[in-house]
Chains A and B, each alone.
Chain A
Amino acid sequence: AQKITQTQPGMFVQEKEAVTLDCTYDTSDPSYGLFWYKQPSSGEMIFLIYQGSYDQQNATEGRYSLNFQKARKSANLVISASQLGDSAMYFCAMGSLSGGGADGLTFGKGTHLIIQP
């Protein structure tokens, strides 16, 4: 079974500051993918960044980077130079790459990020 833990229910951050959202995971799968999604109040899950378990380098997508520490089973999201529009729920998720997606994605409970001007 897979498990995602997000320990920060809510965070307040000043605009233009960097922010780190924590995510730890547990799985017995040798091959897996880690995802971060943003969910604004409209409800849509917006894909931000992906890290494969065998990727040697940490993933980056614009202002988003994923701090992947495999031995510690952590996959923290770093947002540089935060903006007011970054205020939303953020979910960490993982999926098996060896099971053909039969178990879908496992999500954490999310972190509510609020950017203050």
Chain B
Amino acid sequence: DAGVTQSPTHLIKTRGQQVTLRCSPISGHKSVSWYQQVLGQGPQFIFQYYEKEERGRGNFPDRFSARQFPNYSSELNVNALLLGDSALYLCASSLEHTGTAAYGYTFGSGTRLTVV
């Protein structure tokens, strides 16, 4: 079975531009979460979507938005890019919206975004 798939793997954007990152969860998983990991830090929670609805949001500005599609894939959009948005963006999928040992969170390999 395919794991969590993220695209693109690498991306370079200019300040002020907009970017869309994509995530396909494991087949059968209904929940997708997004995390931002800047260099040298642990991942920070951005959004969680379950059954196409936003279930949680971290402390990120409104420039960050996301959505989940009927097939449970998800997109993360970031507008008006800043240099500080340069990071590894990780997507995680789980069966339900609460990760437990039975379900767990499975992460993709991430999209490395560089803003210049």
Contact = CB atoms under 8 A, between A and B. Distances in A.
Contacts of A35: 99, 104-105
B72 interface: no
Nearest to A103: B56
A33 B101 CA distance: 8
A101 B48 contact: yes
A47 B90 CA distance: 14
A19 to B, nearest CB: 19
Contact of A45 (B31, B50, B99, B107): B107
Contacts of A68: none
Contacts of A95: 98-99
B42 A108 contact: yes
Interface string B37-59: 00011111110101000011010
Contact of A97 (B48, B100, B107, B108): B100
Interface of B: 31, 33, 35, 40-46, 48, 50, 55-56, 58, 88, 90, 92, 94, 96-101, 104-110, 112
Given A35-B105, A104-B33, A104-B58, 20 more contacts: A35-B104, A37-B107, A43-B90, A43-B109, A44-B110, A47-B104, A50-B100, A52-B100, A95-B98, A97-B98, A100-B97, A101-B94, A101-B98, A101-B99, A103-B45, A103-B58, A104-B56, A105-B45, A105-B99, A110-B41
Interface of A: 4, 33, 35, 37, 42-47, 50, 52, 59, 91, 93, 95-97, 100-110
